[in-house]
Structure 1
């Protein structure tokens, strides 16, 4: 028969491996999201602002129904979609970052609990712990 303490340790190791795998993948995802935002964020915001202003100016001038005006509006709409996608990416990055924080707190708690459990087992198994 396998000692209960051994089974508990094996279960904790398995859970720790799962958490480590999740943490590793989330860390990689967060790095990818950060790279996307860094590479495209500022440029996208500037282009969107410029295209939206051009479309508004054409509308104010009454030339928004021309081929050029429609193209300017379509371009601004496309950049608006890109801008929205980057906003979503930032939100997802925040969520992933929070999840990583929670995973790291869980891992730290497990390490602390395992240390306390091992200490209690040693105390119980020691000659001093057996005296009544």
Structure 2
């Protein structure tokens, strides 16, 4: 792994879970980690309930847009964290892969999305310890 680890978060629409994860990692690690997110079938916009839930904890993800998952993004990342994209995520030797089984916030109310947001934060904090990056 490089001096500055790179993490890619992938979910189907790149509109909820992966955007919240990228927001948390950027917020907690600053520029100590290169952060990417993408989706296997990106939505047109980020889930507004996910935006609201993140805003409640002082993280603004409104400037992000759903992006298509590319082979280049996977190859450029040290850690690839999938969130329900199943077999559509490419696998390359030498990469660290994790699958985070999280509720999809699409169509969910704010209470459910808050729970997902908080679960993502806990996983991000654990990831930072594993990467030896101070938050």
- Interval containing the TM-score (normalised by the shorter chain): under 0.3
User: Could you say which structure has the higher strand fraction?
Assistant: 2
- TM-score, structure 1 as length reference: 0.27
- Based on CA coordinates, which of the two structures has the bigger radius of gyration? 1
The TM-score with structure 2 as length reference comes to 0.26
